[in-house]
Each structure stands twice: as C-alpha cells, then as structure tokens.
Amino acid sequence: MKPNKSRCKFIFVTGGVVSSLGKGVTSSAIGRSLVSHGLKVGMLKLDPYINVDPGTMNPYQHGEVYVTEDGAETDLDLGHYERFLNADMRRENNVTTGQIYEEVITQERQGKFLGKTVQVIPHITNAIKDRIRKVAQRKDVVITEVGGTVGDIESLPFLEAIRQVKIDHGSENVLYVHVTLIPYLKSSDELKTKPTQHSVGKLREIGIEPNILVCRTEKPLDFPLREKMGLFCNVPVQNIIAAPDVPSIYEVPLTFVDQGLDKIILNSLNLKSRKNGKGLDNWRAMVQKIQFPKKRVSIAIAGKYMELKDSYKSLIEALIHGGISQEAHVDIHYLDVTHPDIWDHLKNVSGILVPGGFGDRGIEAKIAVVSHARANKIPFLGICLGMQCAVIEIARNLCQLKGAHSTEFDPNTPYPVIDILPEQKKVKDLGGTMRLGVYPCKLKTNSLAYRAYKRETVLERHRHRYELNNQFRKKLLDAGLLIAGEYAPKKLTEIIEFKSHPWFVAVQFHPELKSRPLEPHPLFREFVKAALQYAR
Ligand code: GLN
C-alpha cells in the first residue's frame, strides 16, 4: 500500500487514565481553533467496538445515535464536530472496528489477498490508514480521535495504525495529542501526575510519543507541576495545556487559544494562519451570550433516558442554542416520564418537549404530557416519537378514536393512527435500515414552521420506521390539526401543528441534529421564544 503524498497534516487525539474525559470536545475545540485560522479541517472518530455502527445499541450503552446528512448512524462525537466546526460530517467520518473487519474479510473472500495470510498488521492497519487518508483528501488538517482509553485491548490496532502514519508521512506532518486526567486529592490538597505518567508510558511502549498533553483538572496547573510532567512525560512544558472544568463546553476553544495551543499546533506542523486567529471573534461573541444571558426560561424534556444526559446530547445542545438566539438561559428540567411525580414538575415550566424514542416504556405518560401541554396552551415541541404521541393524543381525545395507537406499541389497535412505513414491512436486518438521513420537507405557508424557517422547502434528518397513517388524515384535520410540512413524493407527514394553541409544533424528523451554536435551529429558536412569551 502506497502512502498518498497529500500535503494534509495529521493530528491524533488519544485518551488516558479514564474514559469520559471529553476527547470529543477537545478534538472539536482544536478543530474550531484551526478553522478560525482559515484552515480546512477534517474530523474522524475511530471507535474500537465491533458493532458496524452504534445504531443497534441502547442509548444507555452508547449515548445518543447521531445521524448525518447522508443517513449514517454514528457516534455522538460527530455531533460535537458538526456543532464546533459548523460543518456537515458524513458516513466516512466515523470508523468502527466492525467496519474495518467487515471490509477486510469481504476483500479476503473476493480473493484480493490471494496467497497471503491476512493479519492485523498490515491488513487491518492498512485499512484503518486508508480510512484516515480518505478524510484527509482536500483538507489542510485532519483530526482523528481514537475512542477508548490507552491500555484497552480493543483500541490497539488503531493505535498501531496511527503510529505508522508518522513513518509514512514524516514527523513534521503528524502530531499526537494525549488527553489525560490530573486528579485532585483532597486529603493532601494535591494534584497527582502519576496516572498521566503511566498512561504516557503505555503510549510510548507502543511507539507513540505524545507531543501535547491536554490535562483535565479541577484545580489550576501551576508551573512547577507542568515542569514535572514535562520531564517525566518527555513533553515540552509549553505543550502542557490545562483543560479545567468550564460551565459551557463552547468555552473550551477559547481556553485552548488563551494558552497558545493553536499557535503551538501551527508551528509544529509548519502551517500558516490565513486569518491571524480573527476568525474566533464570532465564537467569542456567541460564548458571551451564554455567559451573560439577559433572561431565563424553564423547559422540560419529558423522556425516559434521564439518568444519562448523553442520550439526549443534541437535544440539550439545541435548546442551549435556542437560548443563545434569544440571549436567554434555558433551565432544562429532565423529567423521567416513568416516575409519577412529573406532574408537579410540569407546573414550573414554560415549555415542554417530548423527544424521540423506541419501545413502549413510558408511552402512555408521554401521551398524557402532550395532552397537558395542548390543553394548558403550554408551548410544545414534539420530536419523532414525540410527534407520534401528539397524533395519538389528538386522535384519542379530539377525534374520539378510543384505543388509537401506533402499531409499534399495539399491533391490534382499532385505530392505527401511526403505522409502519410500507417499505419498512420488508425489512429483516435491523442495522442501518430505518428511514435515515436527509429528506426534503415542503412547508405550508400559513404555518408556524414556515414563519420559523422563512422558506418553503427545508432539509431535515430522519431516523424512524413509523409515520402518520394517511387513512386518518381527514379526521385529524377536522379536529384542528394542521399538516404543516410533508415529504411530497410519498405524502409523508413531517410536521404537524395544532391550530388553537399559541405554539404547538411536532416533527417526524430530528431538528436537533442540525442546530449549531453559531446557527441555532429555527424551530428551537421559535420554541424558546414562545416559552419566554408564555413565562411573561
Ligand atoms: N419509534 C418510532 C419510529 O420508529 C420513533 C423513532 C424516533 O423517535 N426516533 O418511528
């Protein structure tokens, strides 16, 4: 395999000591700081698990499944990449061990390696490097985040592949960033560097010498401590960057740039800024709106994966973006619909969001929550399953269709107001077979949605198998439902609204996946605005 002679530079981000250190945010923040220098930045997440994609995993296992424009079900870090870089990712920006093995084994069966023993090195590592180079095409820099923690068995082939990239492309074109934890010991009032020394030691054992350490800490890193770490880890002291806990993740690029991380990267990789860093001005202005909000508003998410906030990552971020657009702080109330005490909490909010989901746990409570929002004229946003719940609620309570339901939860319902998409009836394999990715939606001009988007056709991302059943369209319309948007070629309902209500909008797609801090999604902007009005 010939290394391609692209002039692209490679940054690799690994993690040490513990998981959940925020490698995704670190990679994205580095990405943003380089974009602000006018560079073309590619992003790649390498995931060590054997699943081909996270689409079949429970949100408790893996957090939210992030869907790209081209319909790939990916790791939630791609959401961070899109939000920080304000750019669309694609299927090629997330690679799993499962994909790599699937590809190599398929080639082996086709006879592409005739006569050879197919091995982890070089065949698996070559396939990994090919995927890295694919993202590098037409980019100045590609930032590759290696999932998992250094020392795990699973991520070894990925680490071996990124080690080889330096040999293939030259050390002046490759940079290794290690994200690590500096724990604070209360009893001795000290920050401890030993876990980092060990984890850097582990990396060096496999031939990777980190150039930069990004240190997660809850206390400031003083100079003597940085010096000590530099000495033991063989890293120049100025390349030891502190990543203290900050109230908003969007502050992280600024924390890095304040410590000169962008300059260190440009110098090490011999890259020239095209904007002298001025490109961060709009980002700074956005962060200031988060830091100094002029108003506050409370909005409830009524879902069922409330113990793990990662399950609703994009939704939470989209609400924050909606807040940015109104210079408001959104207090998010996480309500678990499977708990009976939600009704007390609902009294204190000015907006209610019912998110997407699968499975019938909590479904009746979600329908009751929609009813509450509709009857009390509380601003309501339903997303995917949330829209389906709204249709069921209106069918049961306003169309007198007793027992109306989705066939996902009650296959024998007398009124299947939500039913499986015709093309889904043939589906046997569950992985990657939902209605996925972007579809155009045509809006009615007399709708709240049109007022929000200010255009007639919008592109939104999907991940579902069921839809509003057109047999019941007329009954629902007679009851006051407005079909505000549809996918015209198949007459699929994409947006519903309820006429005699100040702001009741529910969508079959996932608008949260397209919201960015620099460009809040129109529906989240209007939802937060409606909630602020309701609060007044
Ligand atoms: N379970 C529903 C469906 O498949 C909703 C999916 C979702 O909310 N993402 O249509």
Is the CB–ligand 1 distance for residue 131 below 6 Å? Answer: no
The one-letter amino acid code at 109 reads R
Nearest CA owner, ligand 1 atom 8? 356
463: CA distance to ligand 1 center in Å?
A: 7
Q: What is the dihedral of CA 59, 357, 320, 331, to 10 degrees?
A: -100
- CATH code assigned to 294-535: 3.40.50.880
Index of the ligand 1 atom closest to the CA of residue 384: 8
Contact indicator for 21, 181 with CB cutoff of 8 Å: yes
Cβ of residue 358 lying under 6 Å from some atom of ligand 1: yes
Q: Give me the helices (H) in 143-193, please.
A: 156-169
Evaluate: CB of 466 within 6 angstroms of ligand 1: yes
Distance from residue 533's CA to the centre of ligand 1 (Å): 30
In three-state secondary structure terms, 382 is strand
CB neighbours of 343 closer than 8 A, spacing ≥ 6? 372
**Contact residues for 128 (Cβ-Cβ < 8 A; gap 6+):** 46, 95, 100, 157, 158, 161
**Rounded distance from Cα 460 to ligand 1 centre (Å):** 15
Would the CATH topology of 9-285 be identical to that of 294-535? yes
Whether cis (ω within 30° of 0) applies to the bond prior to 236 is no
pLDDT in tens, 142-181: 999 999 999 899 999 999 999 999 999 999 999 999 999 9
What is the phi/psi pair of residue 14, to 5°? -115, 170
Are 534 and 350 in contact, with CB atoms under 8 Å apart? yes
The minimum-distance atom of ligand 1 relative to the CA of 434 is: 4
Residue type for position 21: L
Instruction: Please give the distance, rounded to the nearest whole angstrom, from the Cα atom of residue 310 to the centre of ligand 1.
Output: 18
What is the number of the ligand 1 atom nearest to the C-alpha of 359? 1
What is the pairing mode between strands 492-498 and 504-507? antiparallel
Residue 6 has a pLDDT of: 64
Using the atom order of ligand 1, give the atom closest to the CA of residue 355: 8
- Cα separation, 87 vs 320, whole angstroms: 18
The reported pLDDT for the residue numbered 5 is 57
Residue 302 CA, ligand 1 centroid: distance in Å: 15
What superfamily in CATH does domain 9-285 come from? Answer: P-loop containing nucleotide triphosphate hydrolases (3.40.50.300)
The residue whose CB lies within 8 Å of the most ligand 1 atoms, and thus the one to mutate among 312, 465, 510, is: 465
Residue 277: its pLDDT value, please?
59
Residues in the chain where the model's pLDDT stays below 70: 1-6, 276-277, 307
The answer, yes or no, to whether any atom of ligand 1 lies below 6 A from the CB of 465, is yes
Is residue 385 lining ligand 1, measured as CB closer than 6 Å?
Answer: yes
Name the token pair of 508. Answer: 């079959």
User: How far, in Å, from the CA of 519 to the mean position of ligand 1?
Assistant: 26
Nearest-CA residue for atom 6 of ligand 1:
464
Closest atom, ligand 1, to C-alpha of 466: 10
Could you state, in order of their start, the residue ranges of all structural domains in the chain?
A: 9-285, 294-535
The span from the CA of 42 to the CA of 30, in Å, is: 11
Q: For the beta carbon of residue 397, count every other beta carbon within 10 angstroms.
A: 17
